[in-house]
Chains A and B, each alone.
Chain A
Amino acid sequence: MSTRLLAGIRNRFDKFTVVRKRTAGRRALARVVTIAVGATLPVLAAAGPALALKRDDGTAAHYPSLGAGLTILIFVVIPVGVFAIISALALLPSALSKPRYRPGNAWEHGSRWFGKPVEGETVTADSSAAPSTSARGGASAEW
């Protein structure tokens, strides 16, 4: 078994050496043929539709026309509608949120007093008109 295998390998090696012994001219010819076939075959294959018996320019002649209305609906109204819906969804959160304070804007919310003095503590109007003496300290700041 092994002898036959070795013989086979040797036989192939001999053939290989024979190939290598071919002249440079034959090898050049083989290259030219290979390149020529390789370059033309794809072109011919791609040009196959040109050989079609019935010409087809891409229009679907056997389908009825969409008509102007349906064409506008599909190619204008629907894309614009999708655009509008996505835009509305993107703007929805900020549209729903309450108007918040932004520095520099005028204050139009009225006033709110947390921990307002209860009625019993409130002093009479004449003393509030006079300069207060209850304040002892504090701080000022601006932004």
Chain B
Amino acid sequence: MPSGEPFTNDQYRDIEKVIAVANSETGLSYSVFVGDVEGDIRDAAETKHAAFGAAAPETVLVVVSPGDRLLEIVTGEAAARRLTDRACALAALSMTTSFAGGDLPGGIVTGVRMLAEAAGHPIGSY
């Protein structure tokens, strides 16, 4: 497989759109990393999560390593209150099901959407 862009422009747009919608619906900050990670994926994911600095508590980071076939979802302190580990596991299961079928962008879109629905709307938004 030659190197280059892993997704088509439409797929990029779909992923960026679903992240933007998730951010505005939940008030949390969603982020998706796709690519190889070095070392343990949990450590790498937590390091990437820490890179958000002041925004880290509200950040939900999804790390997808297609080469290792590993997926990691990291929630910050504020995000974890609204997004249980059980809901994350359900989204992770749905994503890996799509990934196993070779549908990387579809799994990411579905997963972010599920995470957004599980988090719900921010209190006081209605």
Contacts and interface: CB of A to CB of B under 8 A. Distances in A.
Question: Are A and B physically bound partners?
Answer: yes
Interface of A: 98-117, 121-123, 127-128, 131-143
Nearest to B94: A141
B71 A114 contact: no
Contact of B85 (A103, A105, A128, A137): A137
Contact of B15 (A107, A114, A135): A114
A109 B42 CA distance: 21
Contact of B46 (A101, A103, A131): A131
Contacts of A113: 31-35, 48
A104 B31 CA distance: 25
A28 B77 CA distance: 110
A135 B88 CA distance: 13
Interface in B40-62: 41-43, 45-57, 59
Contact of A109 (B5, B33, B99): B5
Contact of B50 (A104, A105, A107, A127): A127
Given A113-B31, A114-B32, A141-B93, A135 B1 contact: no
A129 to B, nearest CB: 8
Contacts of A102: 1, 102
Contacts, number: 170
Contact of A139 (B15, B54, B89): B89
A51 to B, nearest CB: 72
Contact of B73 (A101, A110, A139): A139
A135 B76 contact: yes
B19 A109 contact: no
A128 B51 contact: yes
Given A98-B8, A134-B57, A139-B85, A112 B47 contact: no
Contacts of A122: 51-53
B47 A107 contact: no
B1 A138 contact: no
B76 A111 contact: no
A89 to B, nearest CB: 23
B75 interface: yes
A141 B102 CA distance: 16
A16 to B, nearest CB: 82
Nearest to B84: A137
B12 to A, nearest CB: 8
Contacts of B100: 103, 143
Contacts of A136: 57, 75-77, 79-80
